[in-house]
Amino acid sequence: MPNRNDRAPGFNPYRRFALLALLVALSITFGLLSFFPGWDVVFAWLIGVNVVMFAAFGYDKAVAPTGAARVPEAILLALTALGGSIGAVIGRLLFRHKTQKASFQPAFWLCVILSIVLAAVYYTVICPECR
């Protein structure tokens, strides 16, 4: 059953949740960098995006039975791939969200692996002195 917000003119859950998630993750990132100026930007980003992913899984689980606007799976997967794998895995397990959905599992684990590979490449090849 579509909720009221889905019919609102200009409503785009992908754009809304993507912008909100990115703004919060970037705010956390730059907030951390202002308190810890010696930190690597990617390290601060990983903390920020993981906090956002944990919160996104909790929010999506909480609103699932209410009919309110949900976080699109594409956003959950994209942010997982962009470094939020730890927060996503912990959020999935703690909130027991999207753990049984068979169509979500392969894409989710592929994004987790991609996230780990990207971080490993950054810290071993691109910027080994950033460790």
CB-based contact 88:57 (threshold 8 Å): yes
Distance from C-alpha of 65 to C-alpha of 45, rounded to nearest angstrom: 31
Return d(Cα 114, Cα 131) in angstroms, integer: 19
At how many degrees (to 10) do helices 41-63 and 13-35 cross?
A: 140
Q: Which residue's structure tokens are 């949740």?
A: 17
Give me the mean pLDDT over the 103-122 stretch: 93
| 2-16, 20-34, 90-104 — most confident range | 20-34
3 found inside a domain:
no
Distance between CA atoms of 4 and 40, rounded to whole angstroms? 43
Residue 27 has pLDDT above 70, yes or no: yes
Output the pLDDT for position 100: 77
User: How much of the chain, in percent, has pLDDT values that exceed 70?
Assistant: 91
**CA–CA distance, 92 with 81 (Å, rounded to integer):** 15
Residue 105 counted as domain residue: yes
Residues 44-65: what's their mean pLDDT?
A: 93
Tokens representing 128 are 């080994």
Q: What is the pTM of this model?
A: 0.85
Q: Are 88 and 80 in contact (CB under 8 A)?
A: yes
Surface-to-core class of residue 125, CB atoms within 10 Å of its CB (0-12 exposed, 13-18 middle, 19+ buried): exposed
Residue 20 inside a domain? The answer is yes
Rounded to the nearest integer, the mean pLDDT of the chain is 88
Range of the structural domain that residue 107 is part of:
11-130
Residue 74 lies in a domain: yes
42 assigned to some structural domain: yes
Residue 1 forms part of a structural domain: no
Residue 82, in any domain of the structure: yes
Specify the number of domains making up the chain. 1
**With 60 as the cut, is the pLDDT of residue 7 above it?**
no
pLDDT of residue 11: 65
